[in-house]
Amino acid sequence: MSKPLAFFKGDLVDIKNANVNIQTHALHYGTAVFEGIRGNWNTTNDSMIIFRLREHYERLIRGTRILLIDIPYDVDELCNITTDLVHKSGYKQDVYIRPIAYKSAEKIANLKLPELENDFALMIIPFGDYIDSSRAINCCTSSWRRLDDTNIPPRVKISGNYVNSILAKTEAVLAGFDEAIILNQSGSVSEGSGENLFIVNDGEITTPPLSDNNLDGITRNCVFEIAKQELGIQIKEKTIFRSELYLADEVFLTGTAAHITPVGQLDKRTIGTGDTGEITTKIQSLYSDIVRGNNSKYLDWCTSVQIS
Ligand code: PMP
């Protein structure tokens, strides 16, 4: 039997009882950092494959350093709390795991981070596809610009940053597109609303550097490794302009939720053939085996939790 549990104020509780007060600082100001981690159900081994668990917590800790959120757990302890929650929740299907380190202080008139108490919570929900990545999606260039590092650092998952992503995603969907591509303050390509972006030209793969104000994505890092190890391609980091997307052979997006998602159209211009390109297909198929623990070369990216 599966149970919707949460880790809240140091204990595993029914998610219905994991509630914060209306005065909680993070609710008012977005003063939190979170992660999105996938657990992929492996039917052959009756186990949950938590993908790149450690790397997600390393990024969470980087975020807490920026927001001065002190939590009493290190990366090892956070990994253990997570495997325990996954085990005791008992889900036998794909799940999404959401840790959040937040300013839990019930003080709404204080903007001084060191004076605000902190807490850490973790929850798990059943989760299928975020975007249908079996087909090439239809994107628009957002009229919203990506946050700059001089506004709020976009390289980590600060909760408040997501207002930027949510405005862009909402604009895209209301206009009939699947996803938004967001330009940074200098006008070059940053990323999707919840995904990093890559282009392919004549067999070369390029992505904007983190200094172009995108998230330090874990799937992005996987794609660097997979391209190098499996396709012999060294990915280049370089500023990319909007018109380069229109003219690329292939464009794809990457993210924990979105996996590897091909882009078939941008602003009504067809990219390449309009279908999933050759290199995107190869990376997509390798990645989908790797995240489920079905590629023995990449098992060090997988934390397996047996569910009885
Ligand atoms: N950019 C943004 C803005 C995101 O929210 C995400 C999802 N976490 C990504 C990129 C992809 O990051 P990751 O591969 O670590 O999930």
Domains of the chain: 5-126 (3.30.470.10), 137-291 (3.20.10.10)
Tokens of 269: 């211009």
What band does 208 get if pLDDT is binned at 50, 70 and 90? very high
Residue-level pLDDT at 61:
98
Residue-level pLDDT at 235:
98
pLDDT tens for 16-29 read 999 999 999 999 99
Residue-level pLDDT at 26:
98
Residue-level pLDDT at 308:
80
Which candidate in 157, 169, 282, 297 is catalytic?
A: 157
What band does 175 get if pLDDT is binned at 50, 70 and 90? very high
Residue-level pLDDT at 197:
98
Q: What is the distance between the alpha carbons of residues 50 and 183, in angstroms, rounded to a whole number?
A: 32
Q: What is the DSSP letter of 235?
A: P
Atom of ligand 1 nearest to the CA of 56: 15
> How far from the centroid of its chain's Cα atoms is residue 286's Cα?
19
Atom of ligand 1 nearest to the CA of 59: 15
Q: What is the distance between the alpha carbons of residues 18 and 231, in angstroms, rounded to a whole number?
A: 45
pLDDT tens for 264-308 read 999 999 999 999 999 999 999 999 999 999 999 999 999 999 998
pLDDT tens for 121-135 read 999 999 988 998 789
pLDDT tens for 26-82 read 999 999 999 999 999 999 989 999 999 999 999 999 999 999 999 999 999 999 999
Residue 195 Cβ inside 6 Å of ligand 1? The answer reads yes
Testing ligand 1's pocket by substitution, the residue of 33, 53, 157, 195 carrying the most ligand atoms inside 8 A of its CB is 195
Residue-level pLDDT at 184:
98
pLDDT tens for 71-123 read 999 999 999 999 999 999 999 999 999 999 999 999 999 999 999 999 999 99
Nearest protein Cα to ligand 1, atom 7: 194
Strands 259-266 and 250-255: antiparallel
Residue-level pLDDT at 250:
98
Determine the distance separating the centroid of ligand 1 and the alpha carbon of 17, expressed in angstroms.
Answer: 29
Q: Lowest-pLDDT range, 1-5, 22-26, 216-220?
A: 1-5
Under 8 Å between Cβ of 157 and 63: yes
CA quadruple 67, 4, 165, 174: dihedral, nearest 10: -160
Overall pTM > 0.85: yes
| 210 pLDDT higher than 90 | yes
How far from 305 is each of 73, 255, 291, CA to CA, in Å? 21, 22, 14
* Residue 6 dihedral angles phi and psi, to the nearest 5°: -140, 150
Determine the distance separating the centroid of ligand 1 and the alpha carbon of 109, expressed in angstroms.
Answer: 31
157 is catalytic: yes
